[in-house]
Amino acid sequence: MNAKYVNAVPLYRQEQEFERCGLHISRQNMANWTIQCADRYLAVLYDYLHAKLYGYHVLQADETPVLVNKDGRPAGSKSYMWVYRTGRMYTECQIVLYEYQRTRNASHPREFLKDFSGVCVTDGYQVYHTLEEEREDLKIAGCWSHARRRFDEAVKALPKQKQKDSRAYLALTMIQAIYREEKLLKDLPAEERMIRRQLSVRPLVEAYFVWVRETLPKVPQKSKTWEGFNYSLNQEKYLKVFLDDGEVPMDNNAAEQSIRGFCIGKKNWVMIDTIAGAKSSAIIYSIAETAKANNLKPYDYFEYLLTEIPKHLDDTDRSFLDNLLPWSPGLPVNCRKPGKDEVK
């Protein structure tokens, strides 16, 4: 599990390595073991973390396509791995949860977030905006990194000698100024950060949108720069949400980073064989990424969970899981990642 879900080593390569050591362990056996460990034991903690997720004011969400071989559809049909995590401003008690679904439609986040009330930061995907329209207790915040990305693509498409004279480059400069001011506030408490944003960040944001509106008619339609301006204007409402809430980050980079391990892994193993494997992968990736986010060593954390959870399978009271949470003071020392001083 650690090799595949943390270090992105496919089971067939692990099978080959075991063979070189004289151990005959088939990838089918390993796949069955991981599915059973996820379903029997780790799913209990996954569900507990899902309930804990609703206690946060800010979440972040993202999704990425994945191929599942035996899902009853034509070969090559896209499935999706969704990720939901606690907001980047919460540096302690972080939760990262994956969820496998066959499609990318609104019903999935609608169900996953049904008991959540607060702000969800996303990349501008329309289904989240649909959910916001359906509910009074859910607000969607946009991602400045995605706004910036479109101008970055426009600049790179230009000849080098013309890049710095382009409107796309000026847009990048203005967005960078917003990021620079925001970075100065990263260590402040949420309330003070919100107040300071009104003084130093909001004027830059408002100036940016005024400039975009003035400049858009001067840009060739359907060009990369034109697409960047239109994205910003279409997302303006969502891109401004962070200004009025000190707990909301200005981009969705944390969610993208949380799903990166999965994206690296799928380049190596290409596809998941079955729906059962996809669902168990979502559970195991969730535990691994949550462990990493809380400075735990996933291997030792997996080992501890798979030792302790089986002792409580008959318990109707799930409070024992409090002692197994990645921020529990009762975790063994060996589960914790050593600090820099300890490594030295």
Q: What is the pLDDT of residue 338?
A: 87
Q: At what angle do helices 275-293 and 298-308 cross, to 10 degrees?
A: 110
d(CA 299, CA 304): 9
Tokens 């401003």, located at residue: 89
d(CA 294, CA 298): 10
Q: What is the pLDDT along the chain (344 residues), one digit of tens a residue?
A: 999 999 999 999 999 999 999 999 999 999 999 999 999 999 999 999 999 999 999 999 999 999 998 888 888 889 999 999 999 999 999 999 999 999 999 999 999 999 999 999 999 889 999 999 999 999 999 999 999 999 999 999 888 989 999 999 999 999 999 999 999 999 999 999 999 999 999 999 999 999 999 999 999 998 899 999 999 999 999 999 999 999 999 999 999 999 999 999 999 888 899 999 999 999 999 999 999 999 999 999 999 999 999 999 898 899 999 999 999 999 999 999 987 655 44
Q: Decide: 109 and 82 in contact? Cβ < 8 Å.
A: yes
d(CA 128, CA 130): 5
Q: What is the pLDDT of residue 124?
A: 87
- Nearest Cα residue to 58 out of 121, 111, 136: 121
Helix and strand totals (H; E) in the chain:
16, 6
Q: What is the pLDDT of residue 308?
A: 96
Residue 330 DSSP code: T
d(CA 66, CA 124): 20
Q: What is the DSSP string of 265-295?
A: HHHHH-EEEEHHHHHHHHHHHHHHHHHHHTT
Q: Is 342 exposed, middle or buried (0-12, 13-18, 19+ CB in 10 A)?
A: exposed
Q: What is the pLDDT of residue 269?
A: 87
Q: What is the pLDDT of residue 341?
A: 54
Question: Both ends of the chain: CA-CA distance in Å?
Answer: 28
Instruction: Note the residue count of the chain.
Output: 344
- Nearest Cα residue to 267 out of 55, 18, 23, 65: 65
d(CA 141, CA 251): 8
d(CA 212, CA 311): 60
Q: What is the pLDDT of residue 71?
A: 85
Q: What is the pLDDT of residue 248?
A: 97
Residues 68-77: pLDDT tens digits? 988 888 888 8
Q: What is the pLDDT of residue 343?
A: 47
Q: Where are the beta strands (DSSP E) in the chain?
A: 58-70, 78-86, 96-101, 118-121, 138-141, 271-274
d(CA 215, CA 29): 61
d(CA 119, CA 107): 18
| Residue 161 CB coordination number (10 Å) | 7
d(CA 11, CA 316): 35
Q: Which pairing describes strands 78-86 and 96-101: parallel, antiparallel, or unpaired?
A: antiparallel
